[in-house]
């Protein structure tokens, strides 16, 4: 293999790394969303204050995701990145629902 073959392998490894990091972000997003919901419910926050906090949570989660994309993927948003986030988030809630049903 020449330089071209090595470059392709680096690209694949880079994509696997990016996928893994964003999968982890999806898992963490699910955990933090769960924690956020528990805190809001525990403090009995309702109405406009809850709406403001929901928007703030979404903005912060989006900014964190964007910062992660900058450092891992130079904001190269591809389908597999979105898929990784959704799979991580879905895995968390899939496992959580099994745990909650026990």
Which pLDDT tens digit goes with each residue over 24-60? 999 999 999 999 999 999 999 999 999 999 999 999 9
- State yes or no: pLDDT of 4 exceeds 80: no
Residue 3 lies in a domain: no
Neighbours of 7 (CB within 10 A): 11
- Length of the chain equals 102
Both tokens of residue 13?
Answer: 């490894």
- State yes or no: pLDDT of 1 exceeds 60: no
Residue 40 lies in a domain: yes
Residue 31 lies in a domain: yes
Residue 21 lies in a domain: yes
pLDDT tens-digit profile of 73-82?
888 889 999 9
User: Are the C-beta atoms of residues 81 and 19 closer than 8 Å to each other?
Assistant: yes
- State yes or no: pLDDT of 23 exceeds 80: yes
Domain count, the chain: 1
Residue 7 lies in a domain: no
DSSP 93: H
Domain that holds residue 44: 16-100
Residue 86 lies in a domain: yes
Contacts of 67 (CB under 8 A, 6+ apart): none
What pLDDT does 79 receive? 94
Residue 58 lies in a domain: yes
Residue 67 lies in a domain: yes
């Amino acid at each position: 293999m020449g330089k071209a073959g090595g470059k392709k392998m680096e690209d694949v490894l880079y994509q696997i790394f990016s996928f893994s990091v964003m999968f982890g972000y999806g898992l963490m997003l699910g955990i933090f969303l769960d924690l956020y919901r528990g805190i809001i419910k525990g403090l009995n926050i309702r109405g406009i204050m809850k709406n403001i906090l929901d928007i703030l949570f979404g903005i912060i989660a989006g900014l964190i995701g964007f910062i992660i994309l900058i450092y891992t993927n130079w904001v190269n948003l591809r389908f597999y990145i979105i898929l990784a986030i959704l799979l991580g988030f879905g895995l968390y809630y899939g496992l959580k629902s099994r745990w909650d049903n026990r």
